[in-house]
Amino acid sequence: MNNKKDFLYQQLADKIEAMIGDGAYAIGDKLPSVRSLHREHGISVSTALQVYLQLERKGLVEAREKSGYYVSYSRQLLPKLPEISLPARTPAPVNISGRAALIRDAMGRKGIVSLIGAAPHPSLLPVAKLNKALRQAAREEKTAYIPYGDIDGHLPLRRHIAKLSLAWGGSVAVDDILITNGAIEAATICLRAVAKAGDTIAIESPTFVGLLQAIENLGMKALEIPTDPVTGISLEHLETALRKRKVAACLIISNYSNPLGCCIPDQHKKQLARLIEQYQVPLIEDDAYGDLHFNPERPRTIKSFDRADLVLYCSSVSKSIAAGLRIGWIISRRYHDRLAQLKFMSSASTGLLPQLVLTRFLDQQRMDLHLKPLRQALRTQQLQISRAIQQYFPADTRLTRPEGGLSLWVVLPPQADGWELHRKALLQHISFTPGSLFSSQGQYNHCLRLSNANPFDEDQAWAVQTLGKLIRQQLDNRR
C-alpha cells in the first residue's frame, strides 16, 4: 500500500472510530457499505475493506454475513473511571522490594500468559533494522567499542537526542545530556544528586514500582500525592505539601504514567514548573512513555516550561525501540556536573556498543515513521483488552482510559484482594501486577495493573476471561 492510500485508509478509519466514540454511530447501527466508502471517498474497494478490517481488529465493528458491517462497541460503554486517589498524608519509608521480586519471578516462569508487559512486544519493534544497525556498528567501528566510553555518552547519540527533544518542546544543548543505563538508573542518579537518605520525595499515587524501589534503596521517604486518573498529580495537594513540609524533590511521570496512564495537561505542566520555581524544589521528570501517544500530537514535557533549570528530565528508548539496549538519558544543565560524577561512581559509563547501534539506527530511520505503526498497534491492543475487561469483569469495576502508554489501572470492589488473586491466577499460569506494589504504604490492594503491550491474541483473551472468573469467585466468597 503506497503512502497516499495508507493515509486515506487511516484517516477514514480514524474518522469512523471518532464517530463511534462520540455516539454518532450507536451499537447495532449499520455502517456504510464497502462500496459506499469506495464511491463516496474515492478509494479502492480493497482500501475501503482495510478500513473496516482495522476497526474490526480493534473490536469496534463486526461483519455480518451478507449484511455488512455493524457497530459492536463504543468506548462510552467502558466501566467508570477511577476516582482521584486519596493516599496517606504523611511521608513513609518504602518497603516493596520483596513483593516486587515475587512478580519478577513469576514473569520468568515458562508457560505464563503475561498481562504485565513492561515494554512493547518484540513483534511491534524494528528488530530487523536494529540487527542491521548492529552489523554495521560491528563492521565499521571495529575495536572502537572496546575501551571505556565518554562518561557523558557517545556524542553523535547525544546529538540525536537533542534533535528529538524538539518533538516535546525542548531546546537542548548536547553538553546537557548524560547517557545512562535506562531510565531507572537515570532517575536513581537524579535522586542521589538532589536528595539524601532520610529525605522526603513527593510522588504521584499510585506510581511506578521501579521508582518506589529507587526511593527505597536510597533510604529516602515517599510522600504520596493524590492523583487524578486523567489529569495526573493534584497541584493543589502538591503545593500544600511543598508549603507545609520539607520536600527535597518531586518525582513525577509526566505523560501516560505507569500505572494510571494519566497525562498531565500542558497548562498544568506549566503551572507545575512555576510551582517548583516558587518553592525552589527540584523535580525529576520521567518521560519514558511520552512518545507512545495515541493522539496526533506528542504532549509537551514539564521540562519545556522550566525557566529555573530545576527539572531533571529522564527518558529512554526502552518503551519505543528496544529495552535490551539499556539506553536512557538525563537532561539538566544546573546539575550536570554532579550527575556525571554520580554516573561515574555508579557504572563508569554506559556500554558503547549499544550506543553505537542506536546511533546507526537513528542515522537511518525517522523516529516518527517507526513510532506511527507502534502507536496504532498499542491503541488497538488497549481497546481490545479494555473491551474484554468490560465483558468479563464485575459490573462495578472501574477502569482508566489512557490516551497513550502501556498501562491500564483496574479498580475492583474494596473487598477484593489483589495478592490472593495473583496467587490463584499463577495456578492458572496467568501473571499480572497487584495494585499495592504501586504505593509506599501498601494501598490499592483491590486494584490491578494490566498492560496493552502484547498483541491481544487467544491466550490474552483467555487470560482476561479467566481472571474475571477468579475475581467473581473471590467476591462471591467474601460476601
> What was the pLDDT predicted at 7?
67
Contacts of 178 (CB under 8 A, 6+ apart): 151, 152, 153, 186, 189, 329, 330, 331, 332, 336, 339, 340, 343
Where the chain has pLDDT below 70, the residues are 1-7, 27, 75-77
Distance CA 52, CA 13 (A): 7
Q: The cell 527540584 sits on which residue? A: 282
Instruction: For CATH 1.10.10.10, list the domain ranges present in the chain.
Output: 3-76
Determine which helix (DSSP H) or strand (DSSP E) holds 55, and give its type and residue range. Answer: helix 45-57
Q: Is cis: bond before 259, omega within 30 of 0? A: yes
> What was the pLDDT predicted at 327?
98
Q: The cell 490516551 sits on which residue? A: 403
> What was the pLDDT predicted at 1?
43
Q: Which three cell numbers stand for residue 338?
A: 554532579
Determine which helix (DSSP H) or strand (DSSP E) holds 311, and give its type and residue range. Answer: strand 311-316
Q: Which three cell numbers stand for residue 131?
A: 540487527
* Architecture of the CATH domain 3-76: Orthogonal Bundle (1.10)
**The CATH classification of domain 127-367, taken from the options 3.40.50.300, 1.10.569.10, 3.40.50.880, 3.40.640.10:** 3.40.640.10
Q: Is cis: bond before 206, omega within 30 of 0? A: yes
State the Cα torsion 458-464-465-466 to the nearest 10°.
Answer: 100
> Among residues 297, 316, 303, 256, which one has the least CA distance to residue 276?
303
Distance between start and end Cα atoms, the chain: 56
pLDDT digits (tens, 9 = 90+) for 373-392: 999 899 989 989 998 999 99
Distance CA 83, CA 6 (A): 39
Q: The cell 532520610 sits on which residue? A: 198
Sign of CA dihedral 341, 346, 351, 355: negative
> Among residues 179, 138, 137, 133, which one has the least CA distance to residue 155?
179
Q: Which three cell numbers stand for residue 473?
A: 469467585
Instruction: For CATH 3.40.640.10, list the domain ranges present in the chain.
Output: 127-367
List, as one string, the DSSP characters of 265-290: -HHHHHHHHHHHHHHT--EEEE-TTT
> What was the pLDDT predicted at 60?
86
Determine which helix (DSSP H) or strand (DSSP E) holds 447, and give its type and residue range. Answer: strand 447-451
> What was the pLDDT predicted at 375?
94
Contacts of 47 (CB under 8 A, 6+ apart): 1, 5, 8, 9, 38
> What was the pLDDT predicted at 407?
97
Residue 299, CB-side half-sphere exposure with 13 Å CA sphere: 29
Cβ neighbours of 252 (radius 10 Å): 27
> What was the pLDDT predicted at 6?
59
Q: Exposed/middle/buried for 76, CB within 10 Å: 0-12, 13-18, 19+?
A: exposed
What number of residues does the chain have? 479
* Helices and strands in the chain: count of H runs, count of E runs: 15, 17
Sign of CA dihedral 139, 140, 143, 146: negative
* Architecture of the CATH domain 77-122+371-478: Alpha-Beta Complex (3.90)
Instruction: For CATH 3.90.1150.10, list the domain ranges present in the chain.
Output: 77-122+371-478
Cβ neighbours of 473 (radius 10 Å): 12
> What was the pLDDT predicted at 172?
94
In three-state secondary structure terms, 174 is helix
pLDDT digits (tens, 9 = 90+) for 192-225: 999 999 999 999 999 999 999 999 999 999 999 9
